[in-house]
Chain A
Amino acid sequence: MSAYEELDATALAESIVRGERTAEETTADALRVIDERNDELFAFVSVDREGALARARALDERRAAGEAPGPLHGVPVALKANMCLAGAEVSCASKILAGYRPPYTATFVQRLIDAGAVPVGMTNMDEFAMGSSSENSAFGVTRNPWDVTRTPGGSSSGSAVAVASGMVPIALGSDTGGSVRQPAAMCGIVGYKPTYGRVSRYGLVAFGSSLDQVSPFARSTRDACRVMEVISGPDELDSTCVDAPPVAAGAGTGALAGLRVGVPPEYFPDDLDADVRACVEAAIEAMRAKGAEIVPVSLPHTDVAIPTYYVVATAEASSNLARYDGVRYGPRAEGDGTLQGMFAATRDAGFGDEVKRRILLGTYVLSSGYHEAWYGRALRVRRLLADEFDVAFQEVDVVACPTAPTAAFSLGEKSADPVAMYLSDTMTVPASLAGLPACSVPCGFVGARDAQLPVGLQVIGRPLADELVLAVARAFEAATDHRRRPPRSAGGAA
């Protein structure tokens, strides 16, 4: 029997079903690794030890009573701290929601639980998912298991690290502009952002509602497929769900032979990190070697995606975050005693700087007199970006490019320069704006032999081509397999 940390979710579930281990033992394993590593890495902001063990025991009992196992039977799972599980602390790593315990459970969380998964805790993140490094968390930074002086990426930092460091085989993050794909790339794991609307957002605390998608982290593409099969599909509680059946689990099997892969030069700019470029070019070459046809495609508006994203996402965020007013939940500051004073004092004390910056930006772009010049124009550019992807997809089956312009950067390196931080999402934001499915899959390493950092290849597909994107990622993984586990103690090379 292999060690807990060696197995992916699919293998773990099968092993439990075969009776080689119990769900309770498996959850205990997860708690053990969390105990060993969380102080150093700070992946979890809270761990529900007793709740998880009780749920695992109940699964073992039901199995013993002859109940058929779900596809994630007994698999420990981590949830980003912006996902609602009744009774759990869902803080969004913000002081304004400190101690908040939702009275309800998100649709996708319930689907995981119904499939036999065992939520073990909530993971750290950039406050309200605004950030790319975990440095905007009100509760502390999460460290990259490959090099603890570096960021794991963000905003779904803790979920990525929980999976990469062996604490749990799978975790959920939310991807608004790259918040799952970018940390997946930087942590050397699989991160999959579905087509917008493929997974219900009911119970995901909103940041940019027209962009947010619940997205799995996994150590294998087959696990990502399995999670997608469980959590995707229409939900009567979210009317932005697309009317499409759940992503089929068999999606993970596909061949690269005959596949037309588009490579856009706009994703390989002059200032792209040279090692990342070499790594991704080698990955594309490997696809060609397996029979894929590599076709140059043009996505000329890629360079305006970032400003467009920061108008659309902040506009929506400024409205989505208006509910944190101290009236119904969360800590309240009294202010000058008036109602408006209470709102202002509560929000001033509760939100961090980056959240305030984005609320101000979003409020500005929706303001009378500026609305059309900013928000209106951003919507038109967004349409343009989607249209140019449509054109590209008439020529090719998928687009392949880097997930992020650099490997994991050092903590503190960009935290003083918001724009530099925003630019680390350059390659993930276009697919978010266009609502496209996109997968980051490990494609190699950069750096010195004793201080390697993972790099991700991003595979983007047309709307609803979730199965194809996952199949291509899986075929690439099978052909190259750059999956490795980070060194047990990454002291930091910097």
Chain B
Amino acid sequence: MSTAAAGVVSGQTGTRWIPVIGLEVHCQLDTRTKLFCGCEYSFGAEPNTITCPVCTAQPGALPVLNSAALEYAVRAALALNADVAPVSKFDRKNYFYCDLPKGYQISQFDLPYCTGGGIQLASGKFIRLTRIHMEEDAGKAIHDRGDATLVDLNRAGVPLIESVTEADMCSADEAHEYLTALKEIFQYIGVSDCDMEKGSLRCDVNVSVHPEGEPWRTKVEVKNLNSFRNVRASIQYEIARQIEAYETGDPAQYPEQETRLFDVAAGVTRTMRSKEDAHDYRYFPDPDLPLVTVDAVLIERQRGLLPELPVARRARYESELGLSAYDAGVMTAARDVADFFETVVRVGGDPKAAANWIANDVLRALSDPDVAASSILELLVKPNDLAELIALVGDGTVSKNAGREVLDEMLRSGARAKDVVQAMGLEQVQDTSQIDEWCRAALAGREATVADVRAGNLKAIGALMGPVMQASKGSADPQLVRAALLRIIGEEG
């Protein structure tokens, strides 16, 4: 089986198969309080400590919509160029499970708050969104502690937005790219941390395959994918599994409409429930909640809060600041990094140098236990400080290598670049008579190399630079050393 362009997969029989993929992404909104009560959720708290009569479904308690959640949801819709409905409603989705306190989930069924919109991939292909709706999260059921099932309701009632795409993707790569872009956007606009490990981003995929030129076939849903890698792997597995099933030619083995779960350890999907077992959720409008109205004022206020989105920033960094596509991608992958980078540039840092320093040194420091910062915002080195260091390297005051040592010290102590350079005596020697003296000493006894250089082999000059830098204990400006060596060899020739 091999994959060709545009997602076409050639099977064993030579048939050209077209995968059809759609995503449903649940994303937790980072509001202070839950969707319908005042509980302040935080990941990892002691079980059942972030609860109240409403989110534990005490008899008689009623939900009240958190207006901040609606605002976040609207902002997400605007960032995806979607249409926000002036009026939408909440419905009850009825089913029994121990982590669902009310016996129903408050969700939006036939009148979601948002329709349309989408995300453009790098290829130019546009992935359309069908809809986005608001809903509340369930609690967590824990089954692996002995005989009992334990229930933690801390997460019950946390606001989610579920965005559903059209089946516009045709490869695991496209799905991965879409998901990455969606995550970047939600993070950028500050509505969600989209941390899959904490469960704040969860993804279901729909996959079907059909021979090129034929109608679409049965779609299979794979649920609860909790990492980008699993999204990719489960799609690849499903495409292969379905093609293989069809190529048996035995209709009894053809894929059925069903819901499957991805077994991470085995790397395969397995049947969770078939179509016959599908729930009848008995949706109906929640009589406890009035219709949700969104007016132009709310929309414009949220639009005003939208930052420049990653795609636009990337393009601007390339066209205006001259960054490579790769560097622009690294600088824009997270909003705090992009903001840091832009501040460095705004206070005078050279864009390319700034991108290099950030990509190679600053971000790496985040994994250094001595630095003890979990985000670029927590670093002791602020954009001003980095700009100063870039200037010192740029004008030759310190070498690039010495600059790295200076940055290390800045990251640990928070001292300013100039002070570190002075304290560590790292200023480059630019006194030409001193440099000439070191050069002459180095040339003595290296006549063969000198002859080599004279013969036009300029690379040989490297063998002469080392001893000079050594003699200067690394403080000589290498540009000046090189120039001095060439001049002296020339003069003495």
Question: Which A residues lie at the B interface, using CB under 8 A?
Answer: 82-84, 90, 92, 97, 100, 102-104, 106, 201-206, 208-210, 236-240, 315-316, 318-319, 321-323, 325, 327-329, 339-340, 343, 363, 366-368, 371, 375
Contact = CB atoms under 8 A, between A and B. Distances in A.
Contact of A323 (B62, B101, B149, B288): B101
B284 A375 contact: yes
Given A315-B284, A323-B59, A339-B149, A328 B53 contact: no
Given A238-B64, A240-B290, A340-B96, A319 B59 contact: no
- Most B C-beta atoms less than 10 A away, residue of A236, A323, A339, A343: A323
A319 B62 contact: no
B251 interface: no
Contact of A238 (B62, B102, B283): B62
Interface string B50-70: 000100111111111100000
A340 B95 CA distance: 11
B284 A327 contact: no
A237 B64 contact: yes
Which of B58, B98, B151 counts the most A-chain CB atoms under 10 A from its CB?
Answer: B58
Contacts of B61: 104, 202-203
B59 A205 contact: yes
Contacts of A103: 53, 58
Contact of B287 (A83, A104, A205, A316): A316
B350 to A, nearest CB: 55
Among A106, A201, A319, A375, max chain B CB count under 10 A is at: A319
Contacts of B101: 323, 327-328
Contacts of A83: 60
B459 interface: no
Given A205-B60, A319-B94, A322-B96, 5 more contacts: A206-B59, A240-B62, A318-B94, A319-B92, A366-B283
B58 A102 contact: yes
15 contacts: A205-B60, A210-B287, A238-B64, A239-B62, A239-B289, A240-B289, A322-B104, A323-B59, A325-B96, A325-B98, A325-B103, A343-B96, A363-B282, A368-B280, A368-B282
A82 B284 CA distance: 24
A371 B282 contact: yes
Contact of B62 (A201, A339, A340): A201
Nearest to B282: A366
Contacts of A375: 284
Contacts of A322: 94, 96, 102-104
A124 to B, nearest CB: 17
Interface in B287-319: 287-290
Given A319-B282, A323-B102, A323-B103, A206 B94 contact: no
Could you say which of B59, B65, B151 has the most chain A C-beta atoms within 10 Å of its C-beta? B59
Interface in B249-294: 280, 282-284, 287-290
Interface string B232-251: 00000000000000000000
Contacts of B283: 366
Contacts of A210: 287
Given A322-B94, A328-B101, A368-B280, A209 B60 contact: no
B97 interface: yes
Given A239-B288, A239-B290, A319-B94, A206 B60 contact: yes
A377 to B, nearest CB: 13
A339 B98 contact: yes
A368 B93 CA distance: 12
A323 B103 CA distance: 5
Secondary structure at the B interface, as helix, strand, loop or mixed, is: loop
B57 A328 contact: yes
Contacts of B103: 319, 321-323, 325
B64 A323 contact: no
Nearest to B278: A368
B60 A236 contact: no
Contacts of A368: 280, 282
Nearest to B92: A319
**Residue among A83, A240, A322 with the most chain B CB within 10 A?**
A322
A214 to B, nearest CB: 11
A381 B53 CA distance: 35
Nearest to B56: A328
Interface string B101-112: 111100000000
Contacts of A236: 64
B157 to A, nearest CB: 13
B59 A84 contact: yes
Q: List the 4 closest A-B pairs by CB distance, nearest first.
A: A322-B103, A366-B282, A210-B287, A209-B287
A239 B37 CA distance: 12
A102 B59 CA distance: 8
B60 A202 contact: yes
A366 B58 contact: no
Contacts of B104: 319, 322
Contacts of B92: 319
Contacts of B60: 82-84, 90, 102, 106, 201-206
A256 B289 CA distance: 38
A96 to B, nearest CB: 10
Given A239-B289, A325-B98, A90 B59 contact: yes
Interface in B139-164: 149, 151
A190 to B, nearest CB: 25
Contacts of B102: 322-323
A316 to B, nearest CB: 6
Contacts of B151: 327-328
B57 A323 contact: yes
Contacts of B53: 102-104
Point out which of B56, B103, B282, B288 has the most chain A C-beta atoms below 10 A from its C-beta.
B282
A97 B59 contact: yes
B94 to A, nearest CB: 5
Contacts of A329: 58
